[in-house]
Chains A and B, each alone.
Chain A
Amino acid sequence: MSVQQQFDGHWFVTIQPLPRIDERIPLNDLLTRVQRAGVMLRGWDYPHIDNNTRNLDGAIENTTDWREYHERWRFSTSGFFAHRWRMREDGIPERVGTLDFINAIWSMTEIFVFSSRLYGEDPTVEQVTVSLELDGLRDRRLTSSPEYWINVRHLPTEDTFRREATLNRASLLADALVTPGRWAQALFHVMGAPGLTEETVRSHQQRLIERRFG
């Protein structure tokens, strides 16, 4: 089996506003709602919106299939959001089978920033459950750059990493960095890098929020 065939990792995210209200958002407002909540801090936005939105029964769906970007998301009138995307590292020949730790921190942070923008000021929402799943982790190497060297002691033996959190709306707005920061630390622990501190993770989150890439 080639390296390319061996690694096929994905991220799967859901955002679930509570209580459930089936017609929380009118069908015609779904795309605008995602556009207004979208996170555009770095070169690729979250979620990426391509010009192919299709209407489903009570939802919209958007797909991107281009270079290393393979993703699909769905947004329903209940406010339920689900997003699946292929690990971009597996679409770049020299990075197959790896996971960049800064990109992982930034992706997790973008998910929560997006969630807070989607529901932070929606009075029909009391709580939001955010779930995250990464699969295809077994034997995947956590990587960094020369500027941010990390010590990786072993490759992960578990293939899937799952986390879920339910936050009230105020916490979602106030603490959009805390939960993803903790999840990132937990992920790196599983991937053989337990030494990454909360301060290190937070500093990279701040770099994203402040758009400091240099």
Chain B
Amino acid sequence: MAWDEWEQLKTAAVERHSAQMQLNQLPADQQASGSDGSGGRGGPWDSGGGSGTLRSVKAAWTKAGEGVGSLRESISQALANLEEGQKGLGKDLGCMTAAAQRDVYESWQRYVKRVSGRCGALAEILEKTGNDQLKTDEAVKAEIAKLKTEYEDTPALGGQAKGR
């Protein structure tokens, strides 16, 4: 981008930053400006390596969120393909493999749908971080912690549910 455009962005970011809430719990005067990339005390908008403007940092969060969110489209397409492959195998065919296949199909339909849900939930957190709704490290981590509990390992069932 042209130098003057860069300068404009920088100035705008500094102005925005000084008027904003703190990025984390430190008092504002201890916090280095994120816009000149000198690296603050940390926070979701802290620019890594001291190279980004505040806007580019937030854009990175938003872009990541969009990327993860867009995975849901491919997943729905795959689920449609998966279902199409099941034509003819729905009814009871009197054969054990067909019954096993049905169970396997249903388990993966569930799994893939849940992964899609996970994508959506994570995308939302990433986008919220990018557009000011989540403003502190703690806020982001808290949202992520909520996600984690939903997806935790269930070792007691994990092996046996597969029904060997």
Q: Is A bound to B?
A: no
